[in-house]
Amino acid sequence: MRVKICGITRPEDAQFAEEQGANAIGVVVFSGGVSQRVVGEGKAREIFDSVGPFITKVAVTHTKSDDELLRVIALQPDAIQISHPFRFDEDSGVAVIRVIGRGDPFPEDCDAVIVDDSHGKGRDFDPSYARDIVQHSKIPVILAGGLTPENVGEAIRSIHPYAVDVASGVEKSPGIKDREKVRAFIAACRNE
């Protein structure tokens, strides 16, 4: 199972996630007022630069500004995870991951979707909604929302997502990862 550790705010947490076998890290930028895990552009670059070339670097943003979106692209992430329905140029050079929840239209202009009813607030996902999206989607579906080392195995078995995404479920405090929880989460995913 593919794993993204999201809400990374420190290079050492990104490196630890990579060492434990995470496939992707998420760094929240240009999302003031929406997330407690927002870092500035300089810190985002530092975090992205701290990991190797075989881990996917995802810039997570809630921006509604064209200028800020250009600045996110300038960070050169591998992918941008976004809730706002921005249109990306074909030559932007990044994969686009759209966040959806119940009642949201299914986006046609992206490379993957994250099923997260809470839109990054860590509330539990709706199993029937997530299962329906996985069954009908032609693109990869990533499951998020309320995942922890204790429940991720069952979520994987029952939903069958392409990947899982966790932030608060592996933290000591917002943005500060708990190494034991990160290790346990990734191990639980690998056992499925």
pLDDT digits (tens, 9 = 90+) for 8-43: 999 999 999 999 999 999 999 998 777 889 999 999
Contact 158, 129 (CB under 8 A): no
- pTM, to two decimals: 0.94
pLDDT at position 172: 96
Tens of pLDDT, residue by residue over 64-121, are 898 999 999 999 999 999 987 777 776 778 999 999 988 888 988 899 999 987 666 6
Q: Which two tokens stand for residue 61?
A: 């943003």
pLDDT at position 105: 87
pLDDT at position 121: 65
Spatial CA neighbour of 99 closest among 78, 113, 120: 113
The residue extents of the domains of the chain are 2-190
pLDDT at position 27: 98
Q: Which two tokens stand for residue 83?
A: 């809730």
Q: Which two tokens stand for residue 122?
A: 């860590």
Name the packing angle between helices 179-190 and 11-20 (round to 10°). Answer: 30
Average pLDDT, the chain: 92
* Terminal Cα distance for the chain, rounded: 7
Domain 2-190, CATH homologous superfamily name and number = Aldolase class I (3.20.20.70)
**Percentage of residues of the chain with pLDDT beyond 70:** 96
Q: How do strand 2-5 and strand 24-29 relate by DSSP bridges? A: parallel
Spatial CA neighbour of 103 closest among 87, 88, 119: 119
Which carries the bigger pLDDT value, residue 1 or residue 85? 1
